[in-house]
Every structure is written in C-alpha cells, then in structure tokens.
C-alpha cells in the first residue's frame, strides 16, 4: 500500500493527494507552542509516532531540559517509541525503523535523507504536524518529478559529499525548487547507504520537496556525471557559492567539526580518521567529533576510530546533532571561522553572527584540522 502511495505522488503531478504516513517523527527542536498543540490532541496515532530527543543533548539549559522532559513524559504516557539521546533522529530511523516504500513525516529539513533507504521523507510545517499526529492525512500537491541519472565514477580524492554538493549547486543554479527528485536504484548501486544519504539529504537543501531511491523505468530528466567532480568547499552563507578546493583562498580556522547527519556517519568517521591517524591537530584550533548515533559510536570504538581522534587532540562529543545544531556545543565567538561537515552555514548558525562557516567533506575537514588552514 505504501509503495502505491509513493507511486501516486510520482504519477499525479499537480493534483492533490491525501497521504497517510507510516511514521511521524517528533523532535526536541519543536517550539513550545507546537508541543502544547501536540500534547493537547485527544487522540493520536500512537503506533506511528517516534519521539527523538536528539538536537540539544545533553540539554544545554533548564528551559530546553523542561521541553525535552515534557515530550518524554508524553511518550511514556502514550506508549510511544522513544529515541532519547541515541543520536540524530534521521539516522536512527534508518537504522531501526523505516523500510523501503514507507512514508515518514516530520518537521526537520533533512527528511529527504530517508530516501537512501527507499523511504519517502516529507517535511511538514509545525502548524500541520499536530493534525498529522492526531491521525489526519497529509494533503500534498503532487510535485514535478525529476529523475536524475548518475553516471561516471568518482576520483579517489573525491567524496560522495563533494559529488552531492556539486549536484546541489547545479540544481540551485537551474532553479529546481519544489521538485521530487528520483534516483534509480540501479544507478545508485555503486554507492553505500551512507553515500546515498548524502545525495538525498543535500537535494532537499537544493530546494527539493524530497528525494528517493527506488526501482523505476522513468526516463531521466537530467544526467549528472560524477567523473568531473573535485573536492569542494561551500563558502559562508551561500549554498551556490561552492568552489573547487584548489581555488580556495587560504583561510585560518579556529574550529573544525566532524559530525552531523552529513558528516558523523560511520564511513565519514573512517574517512576522517584515515587522515588524522598518527598525527596531531594544529595547536591553535579545536577539533570536535560527534558520531551520528549510538550504533555508529560503538562501531567507531570497536574499530579504534575514537582512539585515533583522541590521540590527534580532538574532543569527542556524545552522539547527536552537536555543532551542526549550533546551540550547545562548539559555539563560535565573534570573528571565528569554522570548517564543518554539518549542514548549515548561514550567519549565526553555530554561534556569533559574525563567525564564518565553510562546509566540506570529512576528509577535507580533517586535513584542515592538521594545518589550521582551509586550503587545498
């Protein structure tokens, strides 16, 4: 039934569809007003709701702690699934809950990442979320569908994140907003699920309503060749200002972050550790590492990755959103520069509004931590 709902979205462009999600993600990033509305709903879809305490963990203030406790008490009272301090909700859903063909609703801006598991993640507004929690359908105008064919092979120095960022830049420049992006499963077979997550997740940042990998015979709307991609750096505050690393003007850096749902997955930590192994970071900067989930953290411990990070001089934080969330860990002072594997780089996203944030792959971020300078 669920695959039928997805195919209905794919085939009925511009018509209005009623969608009943299989799961609904509720997080601690919601406003108090929305939490009030959710908790006042007399009936809820208890078997579908997953409460994720992941953004600000451990809580950084009394107010945030109170908000989280309200959600946890509600979840316990209603018998809901709870993911409390187990890591980033999007990755936890992939690890534990969602299956191919399912539909997931939530308020976060990374819902499209679930497409890497063949599920359709739909972002809803905080105003709409309470009605979905109570059992109402999502009323969606079926978006234009763009199938992207991925061709070629990446150079060894290039990450899937570089390729996804290059694709994001192309789509933003072409004005592709509000589309549902579709990848054929056969095209993406060469990529790991972590890599597929980066492609799907970043296409939402490009303005897409979502992205999904599934079996399809639909003809490609566009073709993207990853053979031409090189290591990239996203400049502060502008998603389309993405430059080849070889053209990057050297920038002194005060902090490096390796984590978030874009940079804290197991393959990301492995890539960063391979650069840092046996070396020490520049004395003048902070390197903060945050595994995406408890599962990732435990595997990183077993593989010795955490030892490598600590030996290099890094601070290893708990699993969760960490610096990418920007409210509790690694907060930037005025005029500081951060190189991040997170998802955000707008002014004030990780501290003072005058701080600058550059986005790179974990490999580039790790090299930057060694030299203290963002450069080729």
pLDDT (tens digit per residue) in 1-40:
456 778 777 776 668 888 899 999 999 999 999 999 999 9
Phi, psi at 160, each rounded to 5°: -60, -30
Handedness of CA 341, 343, 349, 354 (dihedral sign): positive
CB atoms within 10 A of CB 31: 11
| Two domains, one topology: 2-138 and 233-374 | yes
Reading the chain (376 residues) residue by residue, the pLDDT tens digits are 456 778 777 776 668 888 899 999 999 999 999 999 999 999 999 999 999 999 999 999 999 999 999 999 999 999 999 999 999 999 999 999 999 999 999 998 899 999 999 999 999 999 999 999 999 988 888 888 999 999 999 999 999 999 999 999 888 887 777 889 999 999 999 999 999 999 999 999 888 899 999 999 889 999 999 999 999 999 998 777 899 999 999 999 999 999 999 999 999 999 999 999 999 999 999 999 999 999 999 999 999 999 999 999 999 999 999 999 888 899 999 999 999 999 999 999 999 999 999 999 999 999 999 999 999 8
The answer to whether 218 and 248 are in contact (CB under 8 A) is: no
Q: Which residues contact 47 (CB under 8 A, 6 or more apart)?
A: none
Q: Which element (helix H / strand E) includes 240?
A: none
Ordered by start, the domain boundaries in the chain are 2-138, 145-230, 233-374
Pairwise CA distance, residues 252 & 215, whole Å: 46
Measure CA of the first residue to CA of the last residue in the chain; give whole Å: 49
* Angstrom distance (rounded) from CA 319 to CA 54: 8
User: Rg (Cα) of the chain, in Å, rounded?
Assistant: 20
Helices assigned H by DSSP within the chain: 2-11, 32-39, 62-78, 89-96, 129-133, 160-173, 193-205, 260-263, 266-276, 294-302, 305-312, 362-371
The tokens of 269 are what?
């930590």
Which of 234, 343, 365, 367 has its CA nearest to residue 289?
365
Assess if CATH 2.60.40.420 describes domain 233-374: no
The CA–CA distances, whole Å, from 201 to 193, 216, 356 equal 12, 20, 23
- Alpha-carbon distance 160 to 164, whole Å? 6
ω into 172 cis (within 30 of 0): no
The whole-model pTM stands at 0.94
CATH class of the domain defined by 145-230: alpha beta
What is the model's pLDDT at position 97?
97
Here the tokens at position 29 are: 């990033």
142: left (phi over 0), alpha (psi -120 to 50) or beta: beta
Helix (H) or strand (E) holding 252: strand 251-252
For the beta carbon of residue 278, count every other beta carbon within 10 angstroms. Answer: 7
Q: How far apart, in whole angstroms, are the C-alpha atoms of residue 128 and residue 131?
A: 6
> Coil, helix or strand for 361?
coil
Tokens of 202: 């970043």
Q: Which fold has domain 2-138?
A: Aconitase; domain 3 (3.30.499)
189 token code pair: 């077979």
Give me the sheet containing 210-214, strands edge to edge. Answer: 210-214, 180-184, 145-151, 222-225
Distance CA 53, CA 292 (A): 13
Phi, then psi, of 118 in degrees rounded to 5: 80, 15
What are the DSSP calls for 5-74, one per residue? HHHHHHHSTTSEEEE--SEEEEETTS-HHHHHHHHT-SS--TTTEEEEE-SSSS-SSHHHHHHHHHHHHH
Nearest Cα to Cα of residue 261 among 111, 365, 374, 148: 111
Question: Closest by alpha carbon to 315, among 295, 341, 352, 289?
Answer: 289
Query: For the segment 289-304, what is each residue's pLDDT rounded down to a tens digit?
Result: 999 999 999 999 999 9
């Amino acid at each position: 039934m669920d695959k039928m709902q997805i195919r209905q979205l794919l085939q009925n462009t511009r018509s209005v569809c009623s969608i009943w999600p299989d799961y609904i993600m509720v997080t601690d990033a919601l406003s108090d007003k929305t939490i009030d509305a959710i908790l006042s709903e007399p009936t809820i879809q208890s078997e579908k709701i997953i409460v994720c305490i992941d953004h600000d963990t451990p809580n950084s203030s009394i107010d945030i702690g109170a908000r989280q406790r309200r959600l946890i008490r509600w979840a316990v009272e209603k018998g809901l699934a709870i993911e409390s301090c187990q890591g980033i909700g999007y990755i936890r859903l992939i690890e534990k809950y969602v299956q191919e063909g399912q539909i997931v609703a939530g308020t976060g801006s990374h819902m499209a990442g679930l497409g890497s598991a063949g599920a359709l993640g739909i972002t809803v507004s905080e105003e709409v979320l309470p009605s979905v929690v109570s059992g109402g359908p999502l009323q969606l105008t079926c978006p234009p569908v763009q199938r992207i064919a991925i061709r070629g092979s990446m150079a060894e120095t290039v990450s899937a994140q570089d390729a996804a960022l290059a694709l994001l830049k192309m789509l933003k420049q072409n004005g592709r907003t509000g589309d549902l992006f579709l990848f054929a499963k056969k095209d993406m077979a060469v990529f790991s699920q972590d890599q597929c997550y980066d492609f799907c997740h970043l296409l939402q940042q490009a303005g897409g309503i979502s992205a999904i990998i599934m079996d399809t015979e639909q003809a490609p709307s566009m073709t993207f060749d990853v053979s031409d991609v090189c290591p990239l750096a996203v400049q502060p505050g502008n998603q389309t200002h993405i430059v080849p690393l070889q053209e990057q003007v050297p920038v002194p850096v005060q902090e490096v972050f390796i984590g978030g749902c874009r940079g804290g997955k197991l393959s990301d930590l492995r890539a960063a550790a391979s650069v840092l192994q046996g070396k020490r970071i520049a004395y003048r900067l902070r390197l903060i590492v945050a595994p995406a989930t408890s599962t990732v953290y435990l595997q990183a411990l077993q593989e010795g990755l955490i030892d490598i990070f600590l030996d290099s001089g890094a601070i290893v934080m708990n699993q969760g959103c960490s610096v990418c969330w920007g409210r509790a860990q690694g907060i930037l002072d005025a005029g500081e520069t951060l190189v991040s594997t997170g998802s955000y780089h707008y002014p004030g996203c990780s501290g003072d509004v005058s701080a600058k944030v550059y986005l790179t792959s974990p490999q580039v971020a790790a090299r930057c931590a060694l030299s203290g300078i963002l450069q080729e």
